[in-house]
Structure 1
Amino acid sequence: MKTKLFRGIDYENAAAGMGALGFWLFIAAIVLGGIWDSARKRETQQETLRRVIESGASVDQATVERILGSHSDPQSNARDLKVAATIVLYIAPGLAILGLCIWFINQQALLPIIGAATLMAFIGLGLRAAARIAEGTDQQDSSN
């Protein structure tokens, strides 16, 4: 039986809605925080470059790239993808085990959680494939 205490408000549904709202606000805060952080870093790098130019020092392309951080290490891209793939691939069986534990409480919850675990496994495999492609591209770029 649903609980309606004050002016017909269904508090169980309201609590679920507040929980969902809180989750999406948290995700939005993380995304906006990341955008703000990268904008501040970029602004600081540009300010540093401006001060170097104003000081009259000679600025070549290597100095600009070093200050702005625009030159990325090709090997680090593949390594980052491998790390992400490893993390995601270990999450997948963890979700499957979680699904089995929840199955003892609610049998209907098993399939959606197993589906999420399968999705995570495919994401991990995709990241692993992207790492191999990035390694191959980096080796071709360095040979040319």
Structure 2
Amino acid sequence: MVLSVREDGGMLHYDIMDGKNKRFTVVHNVNDHEAKCSCKMFEMVGLLCRHIFVVFRDLERIPLKYVVNRWTKDVSLKATFEIDGVIYDQNGPKDEKKMLLNKVWSDKHCCMDMAGSNMEQLTTFSQVINEQKQLLLSGKEKLSP
């Protein structure tokens, strides 16, 4: 229930009483469509309180700054996955370098796991990796096939 409304330089101050006879003050900046309530529910929880809803009831839409993404259905539609500690958002921008680095690390670990119990294969794999490392250190542009 709105007890009183007063204007002060483009700001509307609403005194509101809820069903438990507690008084709250909502300050509404009409130009910016911003509202702050003395209960601080939006700041603490991310949900608009019933006091601000009373102030916004004549608006056609609730301002987007008060529609927090985590409370929308769209947040559950974003496919995310993790590879070696890097979180990827399927709908977001892709970092090709990170993805390639993760693939190379994954391939290297896979090869080490496959050769891990066979000393001959592990030694051969180690030699191949060291040859490639030496080529990179020497500054040659191409690695051996």
- TM-score norm. by structure 2 comes to 0.25
Q: Which has the larger radius of gyration?
A: 2
Higher strand share: 2
Higher helix share: 1
- TM-score norm. by structure 1 comes to 0.25
Structure number with greater CO (CA < 8 Å, separation at least 6) is 1
